[in-house]
Amino acid sequence: MIFYPLKFQPILKERLWGGTKLKDVLGKPIENDITGESWELSTVSGDISVVSNGELSGKSLQELIEEFPEQLLGKSVFERFGTDFPILIKFIDAKKDLSIQLHPNDELAKERHNSFGKTEMWYVMDADNDAELIVGFNKDVTKEEYANSLENDTLLELLNYEKVNEGDTFFINTGKIHAIGAGVLLAEIQQTSDITYRVFDFNRKDKNGNLRELHTDLALDAIDYLKKDDFKVNYSNTKDKVNDMVECPYFKTNFLDLSQDLILDIKQRDSFTIYMCVGGSAMITNDFGSVDIEKGQTTLVAAASESITIKTEGAKLLEVTI
């Protein structure tokens, strides 16, 4: 099978808190001013990515995985996950604050929803002045203190706020309470899961005038109530090198800030490789072909590739593998 680097049609999501940066900054074909998410790579039921380039154009990612699982995913990835693509890749534009939420771990998600849990990471691509994220609590709290804060409308007083700038990176464990703040555009890498427990939504109403559903009871046993400074990712940014960023059981992410071409030998990788372009532009070439990507675009390189050549005069890339 000729597995040239694949691009996919973005799956665009209207959100109560969305804006226009996905179009204005990343060039996505949005048609309204409340688009909050662009799903770049997905096999979530009902939202399966479709190839947009080359002779495989029109094929779905799920079709290709089922037909060529080891060649596309990698033998070890296939043995672990079967034909379930284990990662969901997004760009997110928060014009307004997102709801305060958390995600269950694998065990709870399997038991309650027959799903993976949702460990994720964020790379900030653009942030308005004084834009913030909420990540975790500002002190250790008990389940009772937390429940009382919901009743008394004082939850915000217990939360930890982080001012952000371009390049800031955060790792969000399951159970960690969090929210993306207004004015933040980011790249998100996560386990394939759409399970979210929303615990506070600033008493906002949707377009039909209804308060959005909260998952107060489900969240109680899923929250990590301890204050942990384990979320800010410190990574080196050596030019024209592959810089380690995040490594966890669900994905490994590297950062590449390139000013010249780079050739990578990936014979021993045994995993697909994803490139999210978060700045500049590049041509990604493997054994079977090439694709051009620019800021806001994503490509998937099959595990069957033995080498990857990145041709560029300037690009910032997130490289994601298993």
Active site annotation includes 198: yes
The pLDDT averaged over each successive group of 10 residues in the chain (322 residues) is 93 96 97 96 96 97 97 96 95 97 93 91 97 98 96 96 97 97 98 92 85 92 96 96 96 98 96 98 97 98 97 98 96
pLDDT of residue 212: 86
β-sheet bridge partners, residue 232: 170
pLDDT of residue 206: 79
Domain coordinates in residue numbering, the chain: 11-220, 242-321
Which position among 80, 198, 212, 269 bears the catalytic label?
198
Contact (Cβ atoms closer than 8 angstroms) between residue 217 and residue 129? no
pLDDT of residue 190: 96
Strand extents, DSSP E, the chain: 11-19, 35-41, 43-44, 47-48, 87-94, 100-102, 120-127, 132-137, 159-163, 169-172, 178-180, 184-191, 197-200, 242-247, 252-258, 262-265, 273-286, 289-294, 298-301, 307-321
Provide long-range contacts, Cβ within 8 A and 24+ apart, for 22-25.
22/91, 22/93, 22/185, 22/296, 25/93, 25/125, 25/126, 25/185, 25/295, 25/296
Q: Give the homologous superfamily in CATH for domain 11-220.
A: Jelly Rolls (2.60.120.10)
Q: Please state, in angstroms and rounded to a whole number, the distance separating the CA atoms of residues 44 and 272.
A: 18
**pTM of the model as a whole:** 0.95
- CB count, 10 Å around CB of 204? 12
Let me know how long the chain is. 322
Within this chain, domains 11-220 and 242-321 share the same CATH topology: yes
DSSP-derived 3-state class of residue 292? strand
Q: Which two tokens stand for residue 186?
A: 């980011």
Contact (Cβ atoms closer than 8 angstroms) between residue 177 and residue 223? yes
Contact (Cβ atoms closer than 8 angstroms) between residue 199 and residue 177? yes
Q: Give the homologous superfamily in CATH for domain 242-321.
A: Jelly Rolls (2.60.120.10)
